[in-house]
Amino acid sequence: MSAAEATLKCVIALSDKRHLCRIVEDALRARIAGEGMMRLAEDAIIVHVANEPGEIRDWVRTALEEGESVLVVEFERWSGYGRGIDSRWLMSRGH
């Protein structure tokens, strides 16, 4: 982990062959302690860590098979609406 401040990142994994949500969650949970992550949707997880997007991509990439993909996006500005978005969790992490 770098000395940088933690920021929010969205990790999205896609596969035509299998559901990746548990696989990606396990790969991230092995590196991210406590409440540093939250599942956003079946294919997307939000993490709050200081690691660079490329490093997070590599953590997940090791769990993927040929033809599967992962995208990690870092962001600090966001807007959400509805019960499906845990705004309290997000707001306590950099909003």
All structural domains of the chain with their residue ranges: 7-91
CA atoms of 26 and 4, how far apart (whole Å) = 24
CA atoms of 90 and 61, how far apart (whole Å) = 25
70-92: average pLDDT: 79
Q: Is the pTM of this model over 0.85?
A: no
Band (pLDDT 50/70/90 cuts) for residue 95 is low
Fold of 7-91: Alpha-Beta Plaits (3.30.70)
Dump pLDDT digits (tens) for 32-62: 988 899 998 888 999 999 999 999 999 999 9
Residue 1 has pLDDT above 50, yes or no: no
Which tokens go with 11?
């990790």
